[in-house]
Chain A
Amino acid sequence: MSENQKVMYIYDGSFEGFLCCVYNFYYNRLKPAGIISRADFTPSFYENLMIETDYEQVYKVRFAIEEKLGRRNLEFLTGCFLTCLEEKEMYMLRYVVKGFRVGPGIINHLSDRDVSVLFKAHRHLEREQHHFLGWVRFYKAGDVYVSKIEPKNQILPLIAWHFTNRFADQPFMIYDATHKQALIYSRGDYRIIRADDIQMPQVSEDEKRTQQLWKNFYDTIAIKERYNPKCRMNFMPKRTWANLTEMQDQTDNTGREVVKI
């Protein structure tokens, strides 16, 4: 294989796996044509390089990043890994390479393309993370409160802390249908599990009454003289409505169908 030939890095899809890609980039000197996870693998013209996750390598790379770029950059990169940015691994690799040259200040190098792309993706993640603190809607099924969300980024690890603190005394589950993950909490202990096929439980009659109260509150609180659907849509895009209790069509007190506009 010649010096300049590029290969396709294939890793296990975890952040640790990515760190091993960084290790291999430095020690094998093989230029990556792309870095993809095993799950997304499609054959290409490039030769494949399988990256095995080796915890010694993980430790070394993590240590190097923390030592040379600082904690803030390590946290930034961990966050970037959760974003929905396409080819995020390549951007992140270039970020690390540039970072080792520039130092911890790389995070402020916003006029650099790789940095600004990652910065934007990371900001998107942070904003979505914050939005979903408000957009999660539980309903009670038995003793457990359950909820389904469809975020673009992988936000479950980021919102876990907030919800486990806030609802410390109630067992709950948040199912991320986009990434097929579920956050499960009960009695001070939580974990995030892979969940390929989750059937959401039925909404009980009792629960429907509470939902009705909330929908009713939602409809009443709007001032009709100030009706401004565009403004609402800016803050709360339509794609989120499917999982918001108050945005479901409903029948009002008299049994008349009310359609949400």
Chain B
Amino acid sequence: MDMYEKLTILTDAAKYDVACTSSGISRGSRGGLGTAVAAGICHSWSADGRCISLLKVLFTNYCRYDCAFCINRKSNDVPRAAFTPRELADLTIEFYRRNYIEGLFISSGVLKNADYTMEQMIKCVRILRQEYGFNGYIHAKAIPGASRQLVEIMGSLVDRVSVNIELPSEASLKKLAPQKSKANILTPMKTIADGQAQAKYEMVKYRHAPRFAPAGQSTQMIIGASEESDFHILRLSQALYDKYKLKRVFFSAYIPLNDDRLLPAKDTKPPLLREHRLYQADWLLRFYGFRAEEILSEQDSMFNPLLDPKCNWALNNMHLFPVEVNTAPYEMLLRVPGIGVTGARRIVAARKMAWLDFDRLKKMGIVLKRAQYFIICKGKAAQYVTIDKEKAAQMLISTSAKDNFNITAGDVTQLSFFDTDRLNEKYITAKAERMVVNV
């Protein structure tokens, strides 16, 4: 098999992995090839609008496991291939020298057993790091069930290690990925977290202490293949951030690849809106000081498809608004829909120099489209705006959302906003209708 074909098969098999970030670590040149930039660099964007930063391939797509949702499961009849460690290392270098990529993202199907697979991956990474002196970014997946020593070796060689949690609950895991278990996913996760904690501790004591997966660990789970609620997923992510100090949790909308009675029907559309809402909420957890329990609750466990989580939260907590831009603390500014970290910081800096009014906010680049319903300047609301929950809600639902859901302006006030089940239903029928038209 030539390289062209191999690369096609193993890229095709890896494309459902979400993470492609190269951020979190800054490393200068060592005179040879490669550096790492803390902010991460995107090199290209593929036709689905996802960024390409790393050479994302599987080491092999031969797999002993038979996970229901996976394209590479044992029982699927797909073309199989495997790189040799050197082939993959050489390809990475060739791409890197042309500035196509920021580094390598290596994952793999399970050959023979978890340990053997990890050893092969480590071989490839060793060639890159030790033989070629490659100093760029490497993200490796730890194979669930691999031994502790191997995970530790991997962690000492690469920038980021991650273990996929795959599904948001143990029950779904048992059902859809019977050969994986909560224990053999969480154990390597723990090993990585421990390794990092120890490296951090040693760093304080010894200046040249070796670093361990300095860009942190991440994980990903599939949304919509099993029945967990958004609230459940969000709380799980929060726990992962708290407990294992994860850098990122990625969500991947389920794309039906296999016909399986345990899975949603094959013509199901990937739940892209749901994935989008989860990411929005994930940002609120990581950068805006929100807790999962504030965003959703046991009773209200699904996201509102019409409103982003922050708007939804604000409308439910109207008693905290409006906020006076000139005096409000930074934390409160952050909670205003439409104002983000950059905006809030800019306001805090600029209000030291002059009183801010709406014109000035605009000049500073603060987008008032959503924010205007929640803020006042020098005691006054924006022109023609009254601070009112119902009106704000009407304005915040974008026209495109109204189109999507077949909702007329009159409908908005009648519909209970938080009746998400009905909205979801409406969304699905509307989408189905449009699909019929398209056909």
Contacts and interface: CB of A to CB of B under 8 A. Distances in A.
B432 interface: no
A236 B45 contact: yes
A229 B42 contact: no
A223 B352 contact: no
Given A109-B353, A221-B15, A225-B255, A134 B44 contact: yes
A214 B47 contact: no
A116 B98 contact: no
B364 A169 contact: no
A229 B34 CA distance: 31
Interface in A137-179: 137-140, 145, 147, 162-163, 165-170
Given A214-B98, A223-B16, A231-B49, A170 B350 contact: no
Nearest to B5: A253
Contact of A145 (B16, B31, B98): B98
Given A111-B360, A111-B364, A220-B11, A229 B47 contact: yes
B386 interface: no
B99 interface: yes
Contacts of A220: 7-8, 11-12, 15
Contacts of B32: 168-169
Contact of B100 (A110, A137, A230): A137
Contacts of A234: 49
A29 interface: no
B354 A109 contact: yes
Interface in B1-49: 3-5, 7-8, 11-12, 14-16, 28-29, 31-35, 37, 39, 41-49
Contacts of A210: 94-95, 98
B99 A232 contact: no
Contacts of B55: 217
Interface in B326-355: 346, 349-350, 352-354
A76 interface: no
Interface in B39-97: 39, 41-53, 55-57, 91, 94-95, 97
Contact of B3 (A163, A213, A221): A213
B47 A227 contact: yes
Given A108-B350, A220-B15, A222-B47, A169 B33 contact: yes
Q: DSSP majority for the A interface?
A: helix
B270 interface: yes
Given A223-B16, A235-B42, A108 B353 contact: yes
B35 to A, nearest CB: 5
B123 to A, nearest CB: 22
Contacts of B53: 134
Interface string A44-88: 000000000000000000000000000000000000000000000
Given A213-B91, A220-B12, A168 B270 contact: no
A218 interface: yes
Contacts of B350: 108-111
Interface in A96-135: 102, 105, 108-111, 113, 116, 119-120, 130, 133-135
| Most-contacted residue by chain A among B5, B8, B32, B57 (CB, 10 A) | B8
Nearest to B350: A110
A168 B33 contact: yes
Interface in B384-432: none
A130 B55 CA distance: 20
A33 B99 CA distance: 45
Given A169-B33, A226-B272, A246 B44 contact: yes
A126 B420 CA distance: 41
B356 interface: yes
A78 B98 CA distance: 30
Contacts of A236: 44-45
A212 interface: yes
A167 B33 contact: yes
Contacts of B91: 213
A37 interface: no
Interface in A207-261: 210, 212-214, 216-232, 234-236, 244-246, 253, 261
A222 B352 contact: no
Contacts of A145: 97-98
Given A116-B364, A165-B35, A168-B33, A214 B49 contact: no
A216 B7 contact: yes
A221 B365 contact: no
14 contacts: A108-B349, A109-B354, A134-B44, A135-B43, A169-B31, A213-B4, A213-B94, A218-B46, A223-B16, A223-B48, A223-B50, A226-B49, A229-B47, A235-B51
Given A138-B97, A228-B49, 16 more contacts: A105-B353, A110-B349, A111-B359, A130-B41, A139-B98, A162-B37, A169-B32, A212-B4, A217-B7, A220-B15, A223-B50, A226-B50, A229-B49, A230-B49, A253-B5, A261-B47
Nearest 5 CB-CB pairings of A with B: A231-B49, A111-B360, A222-B46, A226-B48, A165-B29
